[in-house]
């Protein structure tokens, strides 16, 4: 790693500066826009009281007409909402869920804060934007959509993101310590075009500034720091550009649409939403060790996806570049369309989103170019607002890597987060992965498939908040269940921990 050290130091310093400047630049104009063109519509908080469950969403919602009663209540004095705003002004029950029977005081935004989404609707179809996760994935309609909304001409804009400053200690002989920053910042804009929506999205990560070898994370595997060896027991940094994508969707009816999505980079229709876009996963600052079984394709250099939405169903297929990003994390790599995937998603009720997907990845690993991979995943996300301003979200996912030629490896993940009164967050993640890479340097174990398990528990207390950001401190502890063969490598009972500060746009 010594050959990276010099560049890393320089790029880290530059990186930290660039990221904070970007954050500042993004937040300032967005806030200005919001204030100048779109004052907070706190009246949204009085959205239809009769719909506390949020289940009884009138069918005509899908046609983008707010309930007449709600509209009257919501905008008593002025017709603030321009015609195109008729796209789902309220987040349909999120707020009602979050604080039944209670109207939060000014400034205390609940899950439905900024609920009119600055006029934003779904990028892919005629429904609330709350349903959309990373790439073209879906999350439950009850997902709070936090962010800063604005308007530039015909374009509705939104920014959101977070950054964690982390002190990381991974225990045992294979552990390590590191202080670093991870996170993401995302900007998006959309405008009506014909009978549809044109959208653009950009997502950036500060991860490259932590250095090519990422951060210590026991049992993590996947990608490389030097183009020669696998990164083992470390999480690779994400690329500076995680998504630069354009989307066009055209409505077929009040509940159906067709769409195309193109990204360089982007996310193909494969796997659950990426972990930093799941309500159950975003608060946990460490990456899942199932990342390369489930959602590692979320940064893919070259993606084209076409899909069809029929009410609560979405069918889509992608052509994309199978090769994972290389160790150069600041660049945009050459696109290719040599791999394919298909995904079926279903949101049967507002609280639940499910998907199954399959992909054929052409030569995904730089270090094993002769090996292709088939990947199958299935996942379910359940997000339930409860009580006054509380939220509970859980994701269960399974992913199978079928290496061709090679082993068939399963990964399982169950993660959950509870957000209480917007200030206290508790999260947990349990994972079980069939591994071959962790011990590939140990001749006696090479080629063996070994099941490893990890459990992480943690929490965050947000001690400072404004209308648009919150700042908190957090910690987490991880424990492992390892097969006997691996105990000499990891120690008999390693424990890892992280403490962190988090700044999050809300
Ligand atoms: Cu990733």
- Residues 345-395 have pLDDT tens digits of 999 999 999 999 999 999 999 999 999 999 999 999 999 999 999 999 999
Mean pLDDT of 16-26: 43
Q: Cα(146) to centroid of ligand 1, in Å? A: 21
Q: What is the mean pLDDT of the chain?
A: 83
In order of 34, 173, 452, 492, the CA distances from 489 in angstroms are: 54, 7, 13, 9
> What's the CA-to-centroid distance between 373 and ligand 1, angstroms?
17
pLDDT at 212: 94
CA of 296 to the centre of ligand 1 (A): 5
How does residue 82 score in pLDDT terms, banded at 50, 70 and 90?
very low
User: Above 80 in pLDDT, residue 19?
Assistant: no
Distance of CA 88 to the CA centre of its chain: 22
pTM as predicted: 0.79
Q: Which of the two residues, 46 and 274, has the higher pLDDT score?
A: 274
| Lowest mean pLDDT across 69-73, 131-135, 243-247, 284-288 | 69-73
Nearest C-alpha neighbor of 387 from the set 7, 151, 101, 77: 101
Distance 443 CA to ligand 1 centre (A): 29
Average pLDDT over residues 102-116: 38
pLDDT recorded at residue 458? 98
Asked if the peptide bond before residue 265 counts as cis, ω within 30 degrees of 0, the response is yes
Each residue of 198-207: b (16+ CB within 10 Å) or e?
bbbbbbbbbb
Q: 60-74, 383-397, 407-421, 486-500: lowest mean pLDDT where?
A: 60-74
Say what the pLDDT of residue 422 is: 86
Overall average pLDDT of the 55-84 stretch? 37
Q: Considering only 80-94, 185-199, 207-221, 233-247, which range has the smallest mean pLDDT?
A: 80-94
Q: Is-contact 361 336, C-beta < 8 A? A: no
Contact 208, 4 (CB under 8 A): no
Q: What residues does each domain of the chain span? A: 2-100+110-505
Specify the pLDDT at position 38: 36
For tokens 């609940």, name the residue. Answer: 110
Reduce the DSSP state of residue 412 to 3 states and report it. strand
> How far does the centroid of ligand 1 lie from the alpha carbon of residue 299, in Å?
7
Contact 407, 289 (CB under 8 A): no
**Distance (Å) from CA 7 to ligand 1 centroid:** 23
Nearby residues of 296 by Cβ (< 8 Å), 6 or more positions away: 222, 271, 324
Q: Tokens 């977070």 appear where? A: 162
What whole-number distance in Å separates Cα of residue 216 and Cα of residue 168? 7
Give the residue, 477 or 92, on which the prediction is more confident.
477
Confidence label for 119 from pLDDT (cuts 50, 70 and 90): low
CA 289 to ligand 1 center in whole angstroms? 10
CATH code assigned to 2-100+110-505: 2.40.160.10
Please tell me the distance from the alpha carbon of residue 397 to that of residue 294, in angstroms, as a whole number. 8
Query: How many angstroms is it from 105 CA to the middle of ligand 1?
Result: 38
327 has pLDDT over 80: yes
Confidence band, pLDDT 50/70/90 cuts, at residue 120: confident
Percent of the chain whose predicted confidence (pLDDT) is above 90: 74
pLDDT, position 407: 96
d(CA 379, CA 273): 9
């Amino acid at each position: 790693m010594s050959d990276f050290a010099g560049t890393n130091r320089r790029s880290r310093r530059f990186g930290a500066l660039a990221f904070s400047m970007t954050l500042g630049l993004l937040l300032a104009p967005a806030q200005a826009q919001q204030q100048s063109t779109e004052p907070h519509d706190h009246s949204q908080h009085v959205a239809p009281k009769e719909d506390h469950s949020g289940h009884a969403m009138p069918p005509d919602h899908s046609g983008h007409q707010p309930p007449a009663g709600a509209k009257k209540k919501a905008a008593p004095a002025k017709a603030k909402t321009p015609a195109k705003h008729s796209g789902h002004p309220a987040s349909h029950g999120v707020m009602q869920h979050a604080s039944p029977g209670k109207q939060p005081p000014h400034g205390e935004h609940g899950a439905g804060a900024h609920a009119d989404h600055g006029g934003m609707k779904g990028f892919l179809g005629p429904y609330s934007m709350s349903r959309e996760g990373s790439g073209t994935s879906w999350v439950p309609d009850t997902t709070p959509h936090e962010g800063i909304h604005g308007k530039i001409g015909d374009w509705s804009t939104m920014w959101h993101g977070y950054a964690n400053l982390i002190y990381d200690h991974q225990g045992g002989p294979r552990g390590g310590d590191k202080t670093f920053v991870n996170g993401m910042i995302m900007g998006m804009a959309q405008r009506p075009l014909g009978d549809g929506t044109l959208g653009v999205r950009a997502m950036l990560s500060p991860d490259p500034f932590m250095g090519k070898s990422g951060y210590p994370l026991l049992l993590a595997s996947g990608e490389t720091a030097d183009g020669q060896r696998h990164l083992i027991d470390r999480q690779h940094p994400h690329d500076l550009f995680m998504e630069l994508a354009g989307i066009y969707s055209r409505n077929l009816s009040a509940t159906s649409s067709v769409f195309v999505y193109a990204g360089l980079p982007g996310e193909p229709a494969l796997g659950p939403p990426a972990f930093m876009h799941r309500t159950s996963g975003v608060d946990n600052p460490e990456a899942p060790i199932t990342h390369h079984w489930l959602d590692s394709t979320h940064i893919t250099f070259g993606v084209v996806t076409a899909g069809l939405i029929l009410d609560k169903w979405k069918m889509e297929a992608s052509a994309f570049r199978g090769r994972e990003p290389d160790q150069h994390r600041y660049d945009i790599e050459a696109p290719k369309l040599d791999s394919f995937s298909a995904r079926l998603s279903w949101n049967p009720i507002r609280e639940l989103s499910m998907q199954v997907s399959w992909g054929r990845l052409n030569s995904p690993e730089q270090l094993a170019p002769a090996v292709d991979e088939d990947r199958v995943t299935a996942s379910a996300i359940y997000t339930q607002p409860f009580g006054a301003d509380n939220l509970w979200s859980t994701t269960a996912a399974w992913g199978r890597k079928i290496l061709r030629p090679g082993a068939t490896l399963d990964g399982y993940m169950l993660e959950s987060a509870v957000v209480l009164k917007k200030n206290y967050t508790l999260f947990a993640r349990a994972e079980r992965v069939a591994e071959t890479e962790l011990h590939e340097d140990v001749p006696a174990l090479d080629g063996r498939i070994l099941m490893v398990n990890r459990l992480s528990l943690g929490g965050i207390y947000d001690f400072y908040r404004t209308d648009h950001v919150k700042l908190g401190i957090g910690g987490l502890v991880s424990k492992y269940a390892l097969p006997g063969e691996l105990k000499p490598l990891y120690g008999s009972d390693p424990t890892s921990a992280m403490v962190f500060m988090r700044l999050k746009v809300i």
